[in-house]
Each structure stands twice: as structure tokens, then as C-alpha cells.
């Protein structure tokens, strides 16, 4: 044991290790300040139906870190989750998304758009998560039917009963739920029948080679068939070319998100999309 501890101590003083720790601490300090310095921004990626019309957007977080340019979420969200910073950050995301839902309501072209917001496990498991979402909606007067929360498997791994009850409380308000990155987890199938979901998002790792790899094609066909019999809407993510889109169309998937249809963009660049607001679901 002493020997092991000695080795760890030695490793601690390894200059590379020291560097890693320092840059991690710098990242944490900078991230802590990013929020009140106004360095966080939401980008919005369009979601498109089979007629090429935009029916919604996914809000994707970006950090304009001085001296580092635009930082992608995978570079800071894991740290934000570890440190708990994801809680104030997630709250800011929810507020900003709700304000945008309300802003969309003002125009005939955008008032029926749905907003998808990613929620991390740590956020969802806060005791007052439901109240927080409700407060955000009310603060901005946003229509709950326009808000969709994207959960990943990490959210539903623990305490399934509580997850279901929270989802039902939010659904009672009109909020809907999507299972993100579907197919990449360990128990994807088992939670499908337990959770009150509205939508699945097929992970982009299955979409990438869909037009050339028979295994990926078979998996996606199976997911589509299953979703249909469970009455779940499906969105395919990570569509980068026409062959992928065509395969999906031919196999009954009618909702798409990916660089082919539009990259995530700041809202100013977004509202001029020509395909906004046409022929979308206007029932709620
Ligand atoms: P996600 O929710 O699965 O989001 C989809 C990711 O795929 C986004 O990456 C998007 O930019 C990227 N993407 C979209 N179309 C394509 C495509 O055609 N090809 C490829 N290669 N990628 C595409 P992004 O924005 O870097 O976000 C990464 C992840 O970070 C998200 O994955 C989500 O899990 C997390 N995230 C983003 N924003 C938030 C947030 O506000 N809160 C939380 N908790 N997590 C967030
Ligand atoms: Mg997502
Ligand atoms: Mg995803
Ligand atoms: Mg993903």
C-alpha cells in the first residue's frame, strides 16, 4: 500500500500531470466566471421534416472563452457536471431557451417552433428540478407545449421511479421528453417501456455509415419499427449527406437534424431561414 501511495505521489509531481491539473483548475476558474461575464451563448440547430420544413430547434451551449475562441460543450460540460457548475449553467440555459420560445411566439413564422433543451443527470436529479423548469416557463411566459427536454441514459440509470414521476409532473404542465443518443447506452430497450417518452433521437454514430454499412442499416430499421409500434416520434441526428437522408426517408423516418439540413447557429443568423413556420403541427 505504501509503495502504491509512493507511486501516486511520484506521479503527482510528474510535470505533465502538474500541467494537466493546472489547466483543469484554470478551466474551472474561468468557467465559474463565464456565466456572470456573459460568455455563454446558445446556438440553435434546426430540426427539419420530410417536406424540408423546419419544425423546431435544439439549443446547444457554446462558451466564448476569451483567448480560446468558441468552446464546444464536450470540452467543459463534463467538468461542469463534476463541479456542480452545471446547475447554475443549466438554469441559465433553461431561462434563455424559455425567453427564446416567448420571442418566437411574437411572429407568425416562428410561433409554432419547438425548442429542445439538453438536461444533464445532475440537473434532473435536483430535488426542485420540476419547480425550476416551471419557474423558467412562467418567468418568460413561455408555452410549455413548445418545450422538449432531451434526456440521456445517464439521467434514467438511477432511481427510475423518481425519474418517471418527475417526467409525469412536467408532462402535466405540457412539457415533452426525448431520449437523446438513443442506442448508445447499456439498457436502451429496458427503459423504453418504463419512461413516458414522446420522442427518440437516433444517435449519430448509427447514422454515419447508414447508407453503406448493413449492420447500421439493420439497427436503424429496427429502431424505427420499434418506435412506430410504441408510438414514439423519431428524430435522426447527425445527417451530413443526401444518401443518409434518403435511406431514412425510405425507411419511415421523417424528422432530421444534421449539418446537411443546418448547423447550429446563433439566433441572429437563424431567424432568416426561408423554411420557417410552414405547415407545422399547430394543435397545441
Ligand atoms: P447532443 O445533445 O447529442 O447534440 C448533438 C450534437 O451533434 C451537437 O454537438 C451538434 O452540434 C452535433 N451535430 C449536429 N449535427 C451534426 C452532424 O451532421 N454531424 C456531426 N458530426 N455532428 C453534428 P455539440 O453542440 O458539440 O454538443 C455536444 C453535446 O453536448 C450534446 O450532444 C449534449 O449532450 C451536450 N450539450 C450541449 N448543450 C448542452 C446544454 O445546454 N446542457 C447540457 N446538459 N448538455 C449540453
Ligand atoms: Mg441533444
Ligand atoms: Mg444526441
Ligand atoms: Mg450526442
pLDDT digits (tens, 9 = 90+) for 32-71: 999 999 999 999 999 999 999 999 999 999 999 999 999 9
pLDDT digits (tens, 9 = 90+) for 257-279: 999 999 999 998 876 676 675 44
- For residue 111, what are the CA distances in angstroms to 44, 120, 278, 281? 15, 27, 10, 11
| 159 sits in which H/E element | none
Evaluate if residue 20 carries a pLDDT over 90. Answer: no
Mean pLDDT of all residues in 172-178: 98
Mean pLDDT of all residues in 225-232: 93
Mean pLDDT of all residues in 70-80: 95
What pLDDT is stored for residue 283 in this prediction?
46
Q: Is 36 in the pocket of ligand 1 (CB under 6 A)?
A: no
What pLDDT is stored for residue 244 in this prediction?
97
**Dihedral angle over CA of 41, 199, 207, 278, nearest 10:** -70
What is the SS3 assignment for 264? coil
Q: Bigger pLDDT: 186 or 52?
A: 52
Q: What share of the chain is helix, strand, coil (3-state, %, to 5)?
A: 50, 20, 30
Evaluate if residue 146 carries a pLDDT over 70. Answer: yes
Query: For residues 138 and 176, is the Cβ–Cβ distance under 8 A?
Result: no
- In this prediction the pTM is 0.92
C-alpha cell at 245: 437522408
What pLDDT is stored for residue 128 in this prediction?
97
C-alpha cell at 281: 403541427
Which atom of ligand 1 lies closest to the CA of 72? 26
Q: Own/partner pairs for 9-14, CB < 8 Å, 24+ apart?
A: none
Q: Is 264 in the pocket of ligand 1 (CB under 6 A)?
A: yes
pLDDT digits (tens, 9 = 90+) for 236-252: 999 999 999 999 999 99
What value of ipTM does the predicted structure carry?
A: 0.98
C-alpha cell at 188: 436502451
Q: Select from 129, 203, 114 the least CA-distant residue to 163.
A: 129
Q: Is 181 in the pocket of ligand 1 (CB under 6 A)?
A: yes
Evaluate if residue 166 carries a pLDDT over 90. Answer: yes
For ligand 1, atom 17, name the residue with the nearest CA. 238
Say how many Å lie between the CA of residue 4 and the centre of ligand 1: 39
Q: How far is Cα 26 from Cα 178, in angstroms, rounded to an integer?
A: 34
Antiparallel, parallel or unpaired: β 255-257 and 233-237: parallel
Query: For residues 248 and 236, is the Cβ–Cβ distance under 8 A?
Result: yes
Q: Bigger pLDDT: 46 or 16?
A: 46
Q: How far is Cα 202 from Cα 225, in angstroms, rounded to an integer?
A: 13
Least confident of 1-10, 113-122, 150-159, 172-181: 1-10
For ligand 1, atom 11, name the residue with the nearest CA. 264
Evaluate if residue 282 carries a pLDDT over 80. Answer: no
| 63 sits in which H/E element | strand 54-65
Amino acid at each position: 500500500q505504501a509503495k502504491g501511495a509512493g507511486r501516486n505521489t511520484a506521479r503527482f509531481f510528474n510535470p505533465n500531470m502538474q500541467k494537466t491539473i493546472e489547466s483543469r483548475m484554470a478551466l474551472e476558474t474561468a468557467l465559474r466566471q463565464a456565466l456572470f461575464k456573459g460568455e455563454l451563448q446558445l446556438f440553435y440547430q434546426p430540426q427539419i421534416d420530410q417536406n424540408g420544413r423546419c419544425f423546431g430547434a435544439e439549443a446547444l451551449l457554446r462558451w466564448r472563452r476569451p483567448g480560446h475562441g468558441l468552446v464546444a460543450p464536450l470540452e467543459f460540460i463534463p467538468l461542469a457536471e463534476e463541479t456542480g457548475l452545471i446547475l447554475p449553467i443549466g438554469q441559465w440555459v433553461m431561462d434563455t431557451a424559455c425567453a427564446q420560445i416567448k420571442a418566437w411566439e411574437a411572429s407568425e413564422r416562428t410561433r409554432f417552433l419547438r425548442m429542445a433543451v439538453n438536461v444533464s443527470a445532475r440537473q434532473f436529479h435536483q430535488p426542485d428540478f420540476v419547480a425550476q423548469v416551471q419557474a423558467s416557463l412562467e418567468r418568460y411566459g413561455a408555452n410549455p407545449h413548445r418545450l422538449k427536454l432531451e434526456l440521456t441514459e445517464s439521467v434514467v440509470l438511477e432511481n427510475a421511479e423518481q425519474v418517471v414521476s418527475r417526467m409525469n409532473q412536467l408532462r402535466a404542465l405540457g412539457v415533452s421528453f426525448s431520449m437523446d443518443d438513443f442506442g448508445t447506452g447499456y439498457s436502451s430497450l429496458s427503459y423504453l417501456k418504463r419512461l413516458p417518452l414522446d420522442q427518440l433521437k437516433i444517435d449519430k454514430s448509427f447514422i454515419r455509415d447508414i447508407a453503406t454499412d448493413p449492420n447500421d442499416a439493420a439497427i436503424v430499421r429496427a429502431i424505427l419499427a420499434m418506435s412506430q409500434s410504441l408510438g414514439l416520434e423519431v428524430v435522426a441526428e447527425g445527417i451530413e449527406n443526401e444518401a443518409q437522408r434518403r435511406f431514412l426517408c425510405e425507411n419511415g423516418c421523417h424528422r432530421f437534424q444534421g449539418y446537411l439540413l443546418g448547423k447550429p447557429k446563433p439566433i441572429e443568423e437563424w431567424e432568416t431561414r426561408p423554411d420557417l413556420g410552414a405547415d407545422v403541427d399547430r394543435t397545441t
